[in-house]
Amino acid sequence: MKFFIDTANIDQIKEAQDLGILDGVTTNPSLMAKEGITGEENIKNHYIKICEIVDGDVSAEVISTDFEGIVKEGEALAELHDQIVVKVPMIKEGVKAIKYFSEKGIRTNCTLVFSVGQALLAAKAGATYVSPFIGRLDDISTDGLNLIEEIRLVYDNYMFETQILAASVRHTMHVIDCAKIGADVMTGPLSSIEGLLKHPLTDSGLEKFLADYNKNN
């Protein structure tokens, strides 16, 4: 499973990259706003900066909601850097744009997916990634992981190449469960990745090893 970090924060992206296990980055307009990145030029420059830090794919989201606008914006984003993946919302105009982009060889991430039907449409349109938001489903008492399972089943039935990018991952157990189900990618905060490191027996074991070493050296 690929690990993406879901942030526009440069320090956190660098920290995840330094760990050596980062495969890419996802952003969205809220995450960009959180970092105070505003204005077309600043936003584009920020995407380029992120691409220069990481080796993998960087999702950059369009703001337009009409076909022509999505296409224009998406083409401009894709031109910024080879690593850019155009993030398009799961709406009717978005599906048309994903189909257009896939025919032009522009890679896409279909975002705001909350049902298996939406995921099926995204795959049929040729999306590179589909982003089911598991945390936001959990927030409304609906099993987000169950959606990942359903999409996995449907995609495997027809050997769709669209990669399942489990999004809105909130914590480490989401990461582990997504890996068990067979999500292709997960995107979450740095804490969800760093949580995988933690085990009290590792800490106490290391403490003892070092204490024993220091007694005799």
108 makes contact with ligand E4P (CB under 6 A): no
Binding mask 36-75 for ligand E4P (x = CB under 6 A): ----------------------------------------
Q: 100, 67, 65, 108: which is closest to 84 by C-alpha?
A: 108
CA dihedral 33, 38, 42, 43 (to 10 degrees): 50
Closer to ligand E4P at the Cβ: 34 or 208?
A: 34
87 is catalytic: yes
Q: State the catalytic residue, choosing from 44, 87, 124, 215.
A: 87
Q: d(Cα 44, Cα 184) in Å, to the nearest integer?
A: 27
Two structure tokens written together for 96: 């048309």
Residue 85: name the closest of 112, 116, 118, 62 by CA: 62
- Measured distance CA(21)–CA(108) in Å, rounded: 23
**Which stretch in 130-138, 154-162, 194-202, 207-215 sits in contact with ligand E4P by CB under 6 A?**
130-138
Q: Of the candidates 14, 72, 99, 136, which one interacts with ligand E4P according to CB under 6 A? A: 136
Q: Rg of the chain's alpha carbons, rounded to an integer?
A: 19
Taking the complex as a whole, the smallest distance from the CB of residue 109 to ligand E4P amounts, in Å, to 7
Instruction: Decide: is 6 part of the binding site for ligand E4P (CB under 6 A).
Output: yes
Distance between CA atoms of residues 107 and 78, nearest Å:
8
- Of 111, 128, 162, 163, the one binding ligand E4P (CB under 6 A) is 111
Residues that bind ligand E4P (CB under 6 A): 6, 26, 28, 111, 131, 133, 135-136, 167-168, 187
